[in-house]
Structures are given as structure tokens and as C-alpha cells.
Amino acid sequence: MKEFFTDGSAVPNPGVGGFAVVCEGVPVVLGRERATTNIRMEAMALLQAYELAGVGDAIYSDSEFWINVLTKWAPVWEKNEWRKKGGAIKNLDLVRELYEVFRKKSGVELRFTRGHLGTQGNELADEWANKAREGVQI
């Protein structure tokens, strides 16, 4: 079983953003966008992790927002033809893409980890997401 840790950042928010996927203490994917938000960067990290993960693997995210989107809200939004009561769904392009991958890769476990509490994989993903935002590549 492999464990993937994901994180994204944007400074300022919105602004220049970066994301990272770390596996076994090593960054395996980094990405950067000039004009984005931290929410979009978190989603990009998750998408990349799902591309790499296989059955029995786990993906860790400190984004409660995206975990809620995938496990609670997107199933309802999909039934309602991608609408919600409160108005438009922000980042609908990423919501739909990530939800599709999430469903297809049901053998990959998505786990929440609280950020900035010293969890090594999470701390490394945060560090590398910020490096990616600054233009570092692997």
C-alpha cells in the first residue's frame, strides 16, 4: 500500500499557486499556476494523486472542503443536474472531473489529515506545494 499526501497553496489567495503530491517522503508531482486559488490547487493535487494511486492505496488531504465535496455534496449536486440551492457551484469543472475520478477509483481510500500538526507527509506536501508555487520543479 502506498500513501500519497496532497496539498495546494496560493499566495495571495487568489494569486500564484502551487500544488504537490508526496509519496514515501518524496515529491512525485508538482504543479504551478499564475492565477488561481488555494481551493483549485488542492483539487489539482488530488487529481494528480488519483492518477498515481492504485487499489489499496490511500490519499491524504488536509482539505476538508474537497473531502466533503467528494463524499457528501457532489452526489447530491449530480442528482440535481449540477445545481445547488445556494446558487452556482464554484469550480464546477474541477468538481465534476475530480468526482468522476473519485468514483472510478473506489479502491483508493481518501483520508482526511488535519494540517500543520506535524504529520510528516502532510508537512512535506505543504512544503513542496509552496516550493512549486515559487517555481521549483522536480
Q: Is 42 part of any domain?
A: yes
**What is the reported pLDDT for 108?**
98
Mean pLDDT, each 10-residue run in order, the chain (138 residues): 97 97 97 97 98 98 98 97 93 98 97 92 98 96
**What is the reported pLDDT for 17?**
98
CB-neighbour burial class of residue 118 (10 A; exposed 0-12, middle 13-18, buried 19+) = exposed
Q: What CATH number does residue 114 fall under?
A: 3.30.420.10
Eight-class DSSP state of 127: H
Q: Is 97 part of any domain?
A: yes
Number of compact structural domains in the chain: 1
By residue range, what is the domain housing residue 83? 3-133
**What is the reported pLDDT for 6?**
98
Q: Is 115 part of any domain?
A: yes
Write out the DSSP string of 64-125. HHHHHIIIIIHHHHHHTTS-BTTBPPTTHHHHHHHHHHHHHTTTSEEEE--TTS--HHHHHH
Q: Is 25 part of any domain?
A: yes
Q: Is 138 part of any domain?
A: no
State the Rg of the chain over Cα.
14
